[in-house]
Structure 1
Amino acid sequence: MRTDLRHSLNEGMNNLMTWRNRYSKTEYAEKVVLNIFYRKYTMEFMFPDIIGCYEINLLDKPKVKWNDFNEGFQMLKTTYGSTAVSKTQPILLKLMTNTERNVGNTNYGIFTPLISESKNGNKAKLEEIEYAYLYYLLTDDCVLLWGAFGGTGLSKLDAIGKMSGVIIETEEIKTYGQIEQVLGQLCAAAYLKENYKALPPNV
């Protein structure tokens, strides 16, 4: 099974169009990047809830928390929403002043020159920011799904295999950065390679 990320991609494209209409050209690139890190810090804050879906029972077997992964996915989405409001929102701008601090596998400093060049009319750099937004949105939705599959009794690697159609061997997954990298490559990047179409230039 390959995870169908159509809904996530449509949501992301709609968000980008909404922000293009809402913000001026000088504001837009920075607002998109702000949204990338709003999501990423929230995912990092709630990662204990995600990895907590992979529990072992007294018989050393995966603990089943729900029979349908959709139930788990909706629970994690609810946790994401409450974490965003209670933990991320109040301190996001402060967090982003530390431009070299990695959250997942990226940091704000990587985007600083892209924002600057986008403001000066570089359309290729703006598309790079928009693509990054979509990539991380799809990846983070996959991380939530991965947690949801854990609650059905799958192992961490079996859940990755179910989502990507790829059997992998990797070290024990313990961090947000690890699973973000794996699912980003196997699910989000693969899906975008087949389905991504750039928005028309923001002129």
Structure 2
Amino acid sequence: MGAALLRAAHEALGGPGSYYAALPAHWRRRPEVLAVVTAPMEAARLAGLVEVGERLRCSWTGTPLPATSGRYTFRPPVDVAEINALVARVAEPDVLTGMEIASAVSGVDLATDPVAWLGESPDDWRVGVADGRPVGLVGTAGDACYPLLAYLGLLDDAARGELLAEAVRVLAAGGAREVIADVDAHRVAVLAELERTGFRQLRARVLFEPPAPPTETA
């Protein structure tokens, strides 16, 4: 029945589309949750959708931040060109919060063009610097539905924790009492650093998509 309803809903909207299973934090460890969510997730598979990923929403709510090492300094970017140049050097951003909305509303890929979604104000960004070289950058949004870390990209993984903490400090100084960050569940090191910074998991979203069309061969 669930698979049939999902197929009918997608047909009414013009064909197969994305399906998000919203789940509580740590759902795989909770038998009472598994007993409820197994059936709808199996219905998505029976409807022809394929599980392609899981994203976790995390929240900082005032936990004291880790002390800085003094190894890094932080500054606003010189201009939008510097933001874009640094983003182009990041292979895979650590944190992308609101990427689904950015894509659905404006067709923006937050991973490759965050300025198109966040705007061009350098005040919303911090560049981490060590020995005169940028080691990463973080873009925040203090006036969205929640204050959030929209983008975190690293050129040196060792700077992850201090860039996270710096971004939260900036938002907290602006009055934020809660800061939101979304991370892919398979990014274990990123999730661990978020937790060390004081973030706690709020929920998970498992994404199902239609299968990719077969590749044509000559």
TM-score by length of 2: 0.19
Report the structure, 1 or 2, having the larger strand content: 2
Q: Who wins on radius of gyration, i.e. which is larger?
A: 2
Report the structure, 1 or 2, having the larger helix content: 1
